[in-house]
Amino acid sequence: MKKRIGYLLVLTALAIGLFYSGKSVGAAGTEAGSVGDPLITQSYLELRLAEITGDTASSSFIKVSVSKGKTIMASEGTELMLYSGSGAVAGTDGMVNLTGGEVFSAGNTMVKYCLFLSVGDDSGITAASAMTLYVKGSYHIK
């Protein structure tokens, strides 16, 4: 019994010593995201950007259905991903395929499951068949 108490005291003293030695070298002393700790998470960055811009709705994708022959027009900076169906780029501004690193101009066929970025207010997708997209940002269907 005395041995167990002795081991417990030694382990406790060792743990306290490790805690204070870590604290003295700054292991827990910096604020997250500060100069001392520059690593941040994506969710923290999105939250801070939403607070600065006042745009809280832009942090998540919404599911949008577009009927055959209709066009979804996206505002500048809107992100779109074609989930089902087919369509072609519409408008004079075109779209950037962020997944493939290509610029798609009017008439180019959209690629499923790729993330596209609207580069201007005259960017869109005309549905060749009924299509489902995931959209983050402002848009309207005409």
For 53-88, what is each residue's pLDDT tens digit? 555 445 688 888 999 999 999 888 899 999 999 999
Same domain, 24 and 65: no
Examine the domain organization and report whether 68 and 127 are in the same domain. Answer: yes
Do 83 and 19 share a structural domain? Answer: no
In a domain, 69, yes or no: yes
Per-residue pLDDT, averaged over 47-54, amounts to: 64
Residue 37 is which amino acid?
D
Residue 21 or residue 122, greater confidence: 122
Residue 117 domain-assigned? yes
CB distance 135 to 61 below 8 Å: yes
Q: Compute the distance between CA of residue 127 and CA of residue 133 in angstroms, rounded to an integer.
A: 11
Domain count, the chain: 2
Same domain, 79 and 127: yes
**Is the confidence at residue 3, as pLDDT, over 70?**
yes
Is residue 108 assigned to a domain? yes
Same domain, 69 and 125: yes
What range defines the domain where residue 20 resides?
Answer: 2-28
Note whether 85 and 131 are within 8 A (CB): yes
Q: Residue 36: pLDDT above 80? A: no
Q: Looking at residue 28, what is its pLDDT?
A: 57
Residue 67 resides in a domain: yes
Handedness of CA 133, 137, 141, 142 (dihedral sign): negative
Q: What is the pLDDT of residues 98-136, one digit of tens each?
A: 988 888 888 889 989 999 999 888 899 999 999 999 999
**How far apart are the C-alpha atoms of 129 and 45, rounded to whole Å?**
37
Per the domain annotation, does 131 fall within a domain?
yes
**Dist. CA 96–CA 103, nearest whole Å:** 5
Residue 49 lies in a domain: no
Whole-Å CA distances, 16 to 3, 7, 11: 20, 14, 9
Domain-embedded: residue 35: no
pLDDT exceeds 80 at position 39: no
